[in-house]
Structure 1
């Protein structure tokens, strides 16, 4: 330190003595400078720290933005995939809805069918009984099938007897009345008569025609008788007599075969050719077949007319002396006396009873 500085310090110390106002002001200024400097340092530090934080924040924000963009892109991809899945689900849902609608319609149809099939068993039974009775009534009126109608009525009554419903009593009463009507009818064995006609038609081919008749073979002299004669008359005259008797008997038999006297109403029947004989038999078969059809249709006049024509054909072309021909004529005459004109009753009582029950609500 130089000597010149001491006087200054002395001057100053003399000028601003410790504890004086000047000294206080100088010290306050120094404190202010120190405070300002410290504040400036603090502000600088604060600015530096803030800038660093801002830089870090920007870097973080940039990273986050970049990460957000990647996440956003991934989200868009996911959203697109979800949209595609939603579209697929919507299409599948629409298909399922269509199938559901179709299933519902099928279910409705099945329910209707079930309701139809699950109708009252009595209604089904009555409908079937009505159909059977209607068919039996038609057969009864058209073909006179009494047995078939009787069986149909009895089956219907047996079927209704299994039900305990008192409403069926009226129907069963009507069935009982119709059954009694059918049982009261005179018995005409249509089936038996038809079978007898069929049997007769099968025998026509073996029945002898007049044109088929052949001369009878000469009667041979019994050997036992000749031996007895020889034993009785062993002489020569006896032998000659026996031979003469045998020769004369043979000659007489030959003469009888050459000349026969017989009455025939239709001489042309004796001269039938094989073709004409075939047609004669077929004509008789057709007559019997026509009689069979008249029998099944209960046409008594046509039945008797056909049988009469068949008998006339047999008498004209067939050998009436043959036992087979006589049996055929007897059978036709017996069948011709059958009474087919029987007034058939109707089954209207039973049908009306069934229909009346079905018409009730």
Structure 2
């Protein structure tokens, strides 16, 4: 570009020189024309000189030079414009390549960062899995140890059971007699402490079935068991269900019983007659007035005398009568529970309280109260416990397997 500008400067100088010389050549012609006009005395103008054609050719040449210069300048400008566009296009392409490279680097960096994160998570997960695996391995080891211990204990228990079965087979008769003796004790306990005839009979019948397995060797014992069973069958049991039903009827009828009414007896009091007062003097009038006042006061104080029967019940408020009836229900319920359990003392104590409250607080003229009092008296005198036989005198003594024999068998 520097060479082209230098060349363009030289051409401009050449054109300038040419124009200057052309202008200098034409100047004498312009100065000589006035002289011709002077010589001719104002006649016609002189004919043009043959040299006038050179001037036209010079103008064409100058126009051609200018056109060439303009074309050259246009070419230079076009070349510069092309070079500038090419440079701009190159820069644009470079920027696009740089942008693409930057985007690729950013994507690579993002992918690398994501891969690093995934790698960290994967590493942590692998560590957790390794820890869990180690924990499972330890748990499995402990479970195997426990199973080994349980298996050893099971084998030991199985050995003991086998040994017990061997001993039981060796001392079968003694074990049967021992079990029968235990059933004797159950029968005695149920009959003596609970009055449970049914339970005692079940125990004795089970003992008899065990003795039957031993055959004729236990004839005497089976006879004793049969005597005990017959004695229990002869026991007459109180009808507790009927007695419990009577108590239930009393509980339901408590609200129908009428309470006693308090009666008060009013008797007039005797007022003693006083002697006539002496009214002859002032002192007599004064003494008479004092005696009259004392008599009036005494008469007012003893005018009414209230007498009560022996320890009558006081008049109850409605809420007090409600509590009385509720206490009666509780006592009757206690008596019923004691009856079903066979507790004769608690049964009779509860009915004694009920009878006392009926006599003290309820009206004797009420038919429902009289019927309830009769029922309570009848239930109180009834037998709650049956007359149980003494099974200890009838049953044989309890026998246990010989310990020495079992020890010898174990050895």
Range class of TM-score, shorter chain: 0.3 to 0.5
Please give the TM-score of this superposition, normalised by the length of structure 1. Answer: 0.44
Please give the TM-score of this superposition, normalised by the length of structure 2. Answer: 0.40
